[in-house]
Amino acid sequence: MKAPERTTAEVFPRYIGGEVFADSATLKWPGLFTRRYRFPRVVDGFLVPATAEPLITCTLNGSAEFEEREIDGGWVPRRIRRGDIFVTGSKTPYELRWRSALGAEMDVIHIHLGVEQGEGLRGRAAPLHDDS
């Protein structure tokens, strides 16, 4: 299925491939979508549509030689491994591709946080340290 340039967190899994083997949609949490994916070992490239909701991604297992880029831009390489966390808030679509070693396929959790929930948290975070 060809990915659109923009979509919603609710239908995001339709466009990124991989096997969804856990999904919070049945819990009907307002503005929060949590999904666990298992991705193929080799992905030659696909378009990730932009969403209004920020996306938090954590690699639970596996590793990959991972590359990302803006449409028609240069590829930016990264080594992804267990425990890596990324926060994405792209207003434009972007492309991804990767290769994992045999037996090191990526197991990833995605959390889309609804814009209204994120706005409600603004200014409420506790400081990391106290300068007083």
Q: How would you classify the pairing of strands 85-88 and 32-38?
A: unpaired
Neighbours of 107 (CB within 10 A): 18
DSSP state of 93: -
The H helix count followed by the E strand count for the chain is: 2, 11
Domain containing 60 equals: 26-116
Confidence tier at 113 by pLDDT (50, 70, 90): confident
* 16 located within any domain: no
Q: What three-state secondary structure class fits 52? A: coil
Domain count, the chain: 1
Is residue 37 in some structural domain?
yes
CATH of the domain at 57: 2.60.120.10
Is 97 part of any domain?
Answer: yes
For residue range 25-82, what is the model confidence (pLDDT) as tens digits? 889 888 899 999 999 999 998 888 888 888 999 999 999 999 999 999 999 999 999 9
| Residue 107 located in a structural domain | yes
Name, in order, each residue with C-beta under 8 angstroms of 20's C-beta and a sequence gap of 6 or more.
Answer: 13, 35, 36, 37
